[in-house]
């Protein structure tokens, strides 16, 4: 069960550690190590931005500082996540080889600046990164405390230089089998006389040329290429370290539902999924909403490989790049850290261990503040989490059982957000996915957030919000899933176009989806921001905003009807029995109350275990061979009572609770229980 991290069987608790910024203060390393122990930290991520220390001049390597850091951490029993330093390059590299610098969508070449701004195609950059990675891997290959490679840092962005243009054209030739007719068909280039007659005519969408929405097929291919090229760069990085350390697993830190890369493709090339999580706790949108979005993102990362993931970065205090940098209220650090564990993380790690004296992150939350002391509120919060993780260490490596899947598809997001139509300002694809997801969150139901490449057979319910772009193959998969007894729930703007943004012929939803849902979605009305409609459902009216689809039932039974406008009385929500399964179609966006009532019915109608919980409270579970672990989280400031039916053991205080008890969860509190599933395995 724990094989994904071969050399470590424990929860990890630690931070990004940047002692390279403290070389003038040699006493800091030893001090830090003592503080790490005091904070119950057992891992540090090092070397993330260390390139200019490791290779101060081209070909001149200096490992003194990293040797010392690795030695001292190892001697003190602290695990090491070792980074490749490609996230920020030394000045000499940019000066000597300008091709490594990115060209923006405005056509301008960047100067040496920031980080994460290099060309992923540049053969020079690839070679230099390979070289430094090989050096690092060769030097530290026998260090027993290195448990994981941290490949680069938060890959992202895109480059429009000539090297990238050529690579894009080559990639397109591969994709379209060297056949321009196929490309012209896929991109519908007859539109505005855009026929491509030579591969060299193709250019990435950019500010002075083709915009994203003129030829959506071009835009979607460009986005896919950017993911491909970034991944190919990452794979070269990985190959370089694997040459020397074939047994050390690799990860790269993802960024949640970040829309510019398709992590569902990248995930295939790393051993461990990890991500950096920075919610806006205590913002005006409220902690419950924030908790639901964060839970969604955790479940997305767990869904990438259906195995535990690592919380690679989080803040122990405030996040300095948010508009308003709030402190975490008492309780929130423990609660948000355990939230990650509840959703399948095997670590709680921070950015960063110690605040740097200068640079733009000097006011970002860190475990050790500018007072240089291992004390105070933030430090004690961190220490508390460290102690708790040790107490609940038996949970590490356990898995999550989810009978529900919500589809969040990066490619669909690209397609729908840039489609000219509906509501052009903001179609709210991600928010819609979370709005459906939260109906399960509220009822303590585990959910996998996945795309349709996954095996669907184990899910009782599959939710596909706003799945505008869907390939014929994916349609076939959904059809087979429902035919075999699954329940699918779709919304307005589903199945309009294929994977290159060509509308399905014969009306919407495309192909066999019409039979699955037993209807046709004939037109869609977009509402002004102040417009309201309503649907009547089970004798009550629910407010409707943004979208109303005009639907003709074929075999589906209407469940709810529009109350206003010229389509008053027409079906708005429908249910169809398709072979062994059920298909629900929600043709309108509601303000929240309808979804609550709708999912209440759907969940009660299913065999899925669920809870009646106070507002802002949720339960998530993980399972080992012997135990089910229940995490009860309260995102409100008020203490609540939650009814637990089963006999459980409170893991924090080792208290046995007989079944049918009410347990108290303090405001911003969390409790962790173990329920025996199978004796003596």
Positions marked catalytic: 154, 313
CB of 49 to ligand GAL, least distance (A): 7
Tokens of 81: 């996540």
In the shown chain, the binding pattern of residues 320 to 339 toward ligand GAL, with x for contact by CB under 6 A and - for none, equals: -x------------------
Nearer of residues 318 and 494 to ligand GAL, judged by Cβ: 318
SS3 535: strand
Minimal distance in Å, beta carbon 19 to ligand GAL?
15
Q: Give the shortest CB-414-to-ligand GAL separation in angstroms.
A: 22
How many helices (H) and strands (E) the chain has is answered by 17, 27
Q: Rounded CA gap, 421 and 416, in Å?
A: 9
Reading phi first (left if > 0) and then psi (alpha if -120 to 50, else beta), residue 306 is in: left
* 60 SS3 class: strand
Which H helix or E strand runs over 548?
strand 540-553
In angstroms, what CA-CA distances link 554 with 504, 551, 558?
Answer: 18, 9, 10
Residue 158 binds to ligand GAL (criterion: CB under 6 A)? no
Vertex 618: Cα angle to 614 and 623 (nearest 5):
145
What one-character DSSP code corresponds to residue 399? B
193 Rama class: left (phi>0) / alpha (psi -120 to 50) / beta: left
Smallest distance, ligand GAL to C-beta of residue 324, A: 15
- Decide: is 351 part of the binding site for ligand GAL (CB under 6 A): yes
E strand map for 364-439:
404-407
Closest CB to ligand GAL among residues 319, 412: 319
In the complex with ligand GAL, the residue whose CB is nearer, 48 or 674, is 48
Give residue number: closest CB to ligand GAL. Answer: 351
Q: Which is nearer to ligand GAL, 17 or 627 (CB)?
A: 17
Within 291-320, which residues bind ligand GAL (CB under 6 A)? 313, 319
125: tokens are: 């950059």
Based on CB atoms, which residue is closest to ligand GAL, 322 or 483? 322
364 near ligand GAL, judged by CB under 6 A: yes
Task: Report how far residue 157's alpha carbon sits from residue 413's, in angstroms, rounded to the nearest whole number.
Answer: 16
Least distance in Å: CB of 453 to ligand GAL? 27
Per-residue CA distances from 642 to 417, 444, 626, 634, 672 (Å): 40, 12, 24, 10, 13
Among 276, 499, 590, 633, binds ligand GAL (CB under 6 A): 276
Alpha carbons 145 and 584: distance in angstroms, whole number: 52
Report, in Å, the least distance between residue 315 CB and ligand GAL: 6
Closest to ligand GAL by CB, 361 vs 384, is: 361
The phi, psi pair for 452, rounded to 5°, reads -80, 5
Nearer to ligand GAL, 149 or 578 (CB): 149
Shortest reach from residue 322's CB to ligand GAL, in Å: 9
CB of 115 or CB of 532, closer to ligand GAL:
115
User: In a 3-state reduction of DSSP, which class is residue 149?
Assistant: strand
- Interface with ligand GAL includes 20 (CB under 6 A)? no
Beta strand pairing call for 540-553 and 519-526: antiparallel
Smallest distance from ligand GAL to CB 85, Å: 12
**Of the residues 45, 84, 117, 153, which one makes contact with ligand GAL according to CB under 6 A:** 153
Q: How far is CA 275 from CA 302, 305, 312, 349, 423, in A?
A: 10, 13, 5, 10, 31
Binding of ligand GAL by 154 (CB under 6 A): yes
Measured over the CA atoms of residue 513, residue 519, residue 524 and residue 525, the dihedral's sign is negative
Contacting positions for ligand GAL (CB under 6 A): 153-154, 276, 278, 313, 319, 321, 351, 361, 364
């Amino acid at each position: 069960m724990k094989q994904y991290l071969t050399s470590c069987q424990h929860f990890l608790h630690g931070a990004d550690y940047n002692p390279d910024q403290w070389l003038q203060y040699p006493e800091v390393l030893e001090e830090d190590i003592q503080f790490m122990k005091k904070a119950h930290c057992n891992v540090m991520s090092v070397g993330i931005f260390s390139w200019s220390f490791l290779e101060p001049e081209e070909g001149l390597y200096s490992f003194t500082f990293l040797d010392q850091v690795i030695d001292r951490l190892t001697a003190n029993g602290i695990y090491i996540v070792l980074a490749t330093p490609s996230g920020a390059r030394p000045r000499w590299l940019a000066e000597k080889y300008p091709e490594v610098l990115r060209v923006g969508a405005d056509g301008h070449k960047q100067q040496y600046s920031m980080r994460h701004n290099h060309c992923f195609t540049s053969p020079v950059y690839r070679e230099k990164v390979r070289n430094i990675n090989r050096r690092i891997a060769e030097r530290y290959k026998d260090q027993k405390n290195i448990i994981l490679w941290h490949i680069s840092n938060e890959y992202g962005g895109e480059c429009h230089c000539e090297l990238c243009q050529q690579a894009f054209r080559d990639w397109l030739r591969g994709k379209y089998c060297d056949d321009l007719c196929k490309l012209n068909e896929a991109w519908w280039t007859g539109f505005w006389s855009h026929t491509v007659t030579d591969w060299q005519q193709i250019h990435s969408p950019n500010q002075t040329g083709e915009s994203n929405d003129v030829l959506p097929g071009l835009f979607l291919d460009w986005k896919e290429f950017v993911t491909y090229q970034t991944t190919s760069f990452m794979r070269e990085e990985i190959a370089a370290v694997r040459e020397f350390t074939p047994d050390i697993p690799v990860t790269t830190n993802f960024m949640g539902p970040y829309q510019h890369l398709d992590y569902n493709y990248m995930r295939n090339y790393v051993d461990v999924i990890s991500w950096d999580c920075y919610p806006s706790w205590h913002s005006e949108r409220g902690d419950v909403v924030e908790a639901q979005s964060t839970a969604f993102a955790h479940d997305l990362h767990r869904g990438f490989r259906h195995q535990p993931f690592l919380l690679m970065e989080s803040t122990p205090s405030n996040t300095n790049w948010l508009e308003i940098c709030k402190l975490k209220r008492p309780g929130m650090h423990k609660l948000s850290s355990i939230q990650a564990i509840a959703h399948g993380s095997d670590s709680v790690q921070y950015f960063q261990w110690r605040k740097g004296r200068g640079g733009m992150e000097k006011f970002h939350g860190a475990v050790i503040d500018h007072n240089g002391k291992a004390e105070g509120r933030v430090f004690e919060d961190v220490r508390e989490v460290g102690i708790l993780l040790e107490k609940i260490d038996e949970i590490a490596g356990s898995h999550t059982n989810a009978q529900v899947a919500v589809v969040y598809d990066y490619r669909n997001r690209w397609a729908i957000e840039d489609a000219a139509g509906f509501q052009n300002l903001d179609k709210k694809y991600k928010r819609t996915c979370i709005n459906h997801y939260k109906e399960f969150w509220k009822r303590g139901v585990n959910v996998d957030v996945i795309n349709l490449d996954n095996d669907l057979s184990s899910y009782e319910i599959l939710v596909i919000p706003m799945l505008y772009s869907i390939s014929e193959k994916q349609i076939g998969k959904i059809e087979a899933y429902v035919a075999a007894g699954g329940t699918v729930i779709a919304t307005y703007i589903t199945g309009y176009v294929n994977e290159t943004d060509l509308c399905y012929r014969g009306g919407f939803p495309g192909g066999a989806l019409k039979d699955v849902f037993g209807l046709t979605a004939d037109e869609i009305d977009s509402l002004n921001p102040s417009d309201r409609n309503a649907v009547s459902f089970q004798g009550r009216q629910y407010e409707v905003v943004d979208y109303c689809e005009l639907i003709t039932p074929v075999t589906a039974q209407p469940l709810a009807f529009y109350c206003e406008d010229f389509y008053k009385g027409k079906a708005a929500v429908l249910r169809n029995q398709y072979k062994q399964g059920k298909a629900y179609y929600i043709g309108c966006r509601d303000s929240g109350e309808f979804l609550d009532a709708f999912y209440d019915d759907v969940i009660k109608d299913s065999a899925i275990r669920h809870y009646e919980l106070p507002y802002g409270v949720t339960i998530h579970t993980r399972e080992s061979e012997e135990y089910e672990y229940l995490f009860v989280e309260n995102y409100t400031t008020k203490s609540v009572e939650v009814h637990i039916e089963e006999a459980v053991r409170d893991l924090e205080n080792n208290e046995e609770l007989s079944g049918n008890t009410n347990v108290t969860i303090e405001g911003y509190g969390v409790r962790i229980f173990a329920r025996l599933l199978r004796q003596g395995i």
